[in-house]
Amino acid sequence: MYRRGIGSVQGLPERQDGVGGVSYCDVAGGCEASKMTVNMKFIVNPDIRLESITKETTEALYPLFMEDIRELNRWFGFDADYSIQNDYHYLDNRKPPYDNAIVVFYRGVPCGRFGLYDYSPGENSIYMYYWISSRFRRKGIALAAMGAMLKYLGGLAVREVMFDVDRENLASIKLLEKYPDIRLKSEGKHMIFACDLQAGRYKDGQTV
């Protein structure tokens, strides 16, 4: 699940109301993806970059996360017991690159995160979630960062990345549907989307 931290962020835009991108998804992208493990950094475009999570960015994202907590709990399906101590524990015990979190920066400010979880060595598959703060939506951040994350996972030779999305989370569903390589795999209360990275354009971290 998503884990947070405490702190303050300078230069935040005013919050925008409305449904944004929250779904179970996670990882970062970029060239030479196989080298990007614990201390990954990747510039997506002049405005957006991705970096491995740190104590500082965990703390910086906390106030944004708490602003969106009701929405997040709705999509997660339960009210989690969030605390900064749990975040610190996660930072100390995560196992990159397959159990990791990647922070999204917009114009130098932390604004969201991708997370990787439930890696299956036998299936060579992984789940990914993402969250972009409601203050930073409608800027194309999630769309651009998602492509970088898929490229990153392809470079790690992951076969399949999956997304567990509440069927009422229309913003996340619309985002995933913008990628032709991501297809609906199963459907119920939660919809499972999947992308075969080694059969598509993200193989070996390359796009065509």
Q: Which CATH superfamily is domain 22-205 in?
A: Gcn5-related N-acetyltransferase (GNAT) (3.40.630.30)
Task: Decide: helix, strand or coil at residue 151.
Answer: helix
Domain ranges of the chain: 22-205
Q: What is the DSSP string of 35-51?
A: G-STT-EEE-SSSEEEE
The per-residue pLDDT string of the chain (208 residues; one tens digit each, 9 = 90 and over) reads 333 222 223 333 433 333 233 222 333 333 344 344 457 788 999 999 999 999 999 999 989 988 988 888 788 766 666 777 888 888 888 888 999 999 999 999 999 999 999 999 999 999 999 999 999 999 999 999 999 999 999 989 999 999 999 999 999 999 999 999 999 999 988 899 999 998 877 877 765 4
Compute, in degrees rounded to 10, the torsion defined by CA atoms 73, 78, 84, 90: -110
Q: Check: pTM over 0.85? Answer yes or no.
A: no
